[in-house]
């Protein structure tokens, strides 16, 4: 399937919207006493079912190479989720959000180190602007800066997420996207189940299922199946650095949905920080040479 970089980035933007909305529904599920491991297991299982319904014929033709690529992508993806979940238990939400966002800095360096992909000066400027936006949006500089075990887990999470983005961007170009998506779903399901069973000890009695069922369905079908399938498809046609910056908008959309559903008030720092992050992405995507040439032609 041929796709332009612009279309791929639009799909990643849609993915960011889906994942941003996931913050709200995850909060609702957690308030209904669904544990993090069980959430991951259920959304992974729904992901598996949906991907098989739509792409069964391609998945049954999976080669060993497809399996290996998908397995590595799945382990990196799940590693990011589980370390972030553990990290948020021991650190503040703003620390967790800001340190997790460090993947946007790690991505171009990993791509350069592993795959020899050089990055442009504007990439560095965009990344710095994006981090400034995150600093403002999370308000982390107004808090007392401390480092604890939760922050360490969250930093590990950032490396997992960066590895996942880089790997999907540069190692899955010859692999069928639906097969990679299936492997993401399978690893998410198995990892969530094991974490739920052995770490959280499998308690179901306190869950308010009447409240939890809709958020769980939404996370499995919209956030996981649609969101991650679009991500895998789109990353075959754009750079890892662009993908990392665009998916950073997940936090901005998360704040927008959180405000819309009454979980937090709208504040100046959210508006300013969000705008700076969006501007950093625009800066990354604008081809200045083409703009200069067009202006010269007009003159």
Q: What angle do CA 70, 22, 233 make, to 5 degrees?
A: 35
How far apart, in whole angstroms, are the C-alpha atoms of residue 36 and residue 214? 16
Q: Which two tokens stand for residue 3?
A: 């796709």
Tell me what pLDDT residue 72 has: 93
Tell me what pLDDT residue 163 has: 92
Q: How far apart, in Å, do the first and last CA atoms of the chain sit? A: 39
* For the chain, domain boundaries: 5-298
How far apart, in whole angstroms, are the C-alpha atoms of residue 43 and residue 188? 8
Q: Assign 3-class secondary structure to 153-165.
A: HHHHHHHHHHHHH
Task: Return contacts of 117-121, CB within 8 angstroms, 24+ apart.
Answer: 117/170, 117/239, 117/240, 119/241
Query: Count of CB atoms within 10 A of residue 84's CB?
Result: 22
Question: pLDDT by residue (tens digit) across 229-281?
Answer: 999 899 888 888 888 888 878 878 877 887 887 777 888 887 888 788 888 87
Sign of the alpha-carbon torsion through 79, 82, 85, 91 = negative
Low-confidence ranges of the chain (pLDDT < 70): 1, 88-89, 91-98, 119, 138-147, 285-299
Tell me what pLDDT residue 191 has: 92
The verdict on pTM exceeding 0.85 is no
CA 132, chain centre distance (Å):
19
User: If you search the block for the tokens 């981090």, which residue do you land on?
Assistant: 131
How far apart, in whole angstroms, are the C-alpha atoms of residue 2 and residue 260? 37
């Amino acid at each position: 399937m041929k796709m332009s970089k612009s279309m791929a980035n639009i799909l990643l933007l849609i993915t960011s919207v889906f994942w941003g909305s996931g913050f709200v529904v995850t909060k609702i599920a957690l308030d209904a006493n669904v544990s993090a491991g069980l959430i991951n297991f259920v959304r992974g299982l729904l992901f598996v079912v949906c991907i098989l319904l739509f792409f069964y014929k391609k998945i049954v033709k999976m080669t060993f190479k497809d399996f290996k690529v998908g397995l590595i992508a799945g382990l990196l993806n799940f590693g990011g989720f589980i370390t972030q979940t553990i990290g948020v238990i021991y650190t503040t939400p703003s620390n967790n959000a800001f340190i997790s966002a460090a993947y946007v800095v790690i991505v171009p360096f990993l791509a350069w180190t592993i795959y020899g992909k050089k990055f442009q000066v504007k990439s560095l400027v965009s990344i710095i602007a994006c981090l400034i936006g995150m600093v403002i949006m999370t308000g982390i500089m107004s808090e007392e800066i401390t480092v604890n075990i939760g922050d360490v887990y969250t930093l590990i999470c950032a490396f997992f997420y960066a590895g996942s983005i880089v790997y999907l961007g540069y190692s899955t170009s010859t692999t069928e996207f639906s097969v990679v998506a299936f492997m993401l779903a399978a690893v998410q399901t198995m990892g969530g189940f094991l974490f739920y069973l052995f770490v959280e000890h499998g308690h179901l009695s306190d869950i308010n299922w009447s409240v939890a069922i809709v958020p769980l369905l939404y996370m499995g079908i919209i956030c996981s199946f649609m969101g991650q399938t679009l991500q895998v498809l789109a990353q075959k046609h754009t750079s890892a650095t662009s993908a990392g910056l665009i998916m950073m908008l997940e936090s901005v959309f998360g704040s927008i949905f959180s405000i819309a559903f009454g979980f937090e008030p709208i504040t100046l720092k959210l508006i300013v920080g969000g705008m700076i992050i969006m501007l950093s992405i625009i800066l990354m995507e604008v081809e200045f040479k083409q703009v200069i040439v067009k202006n010269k032609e007009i003159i």
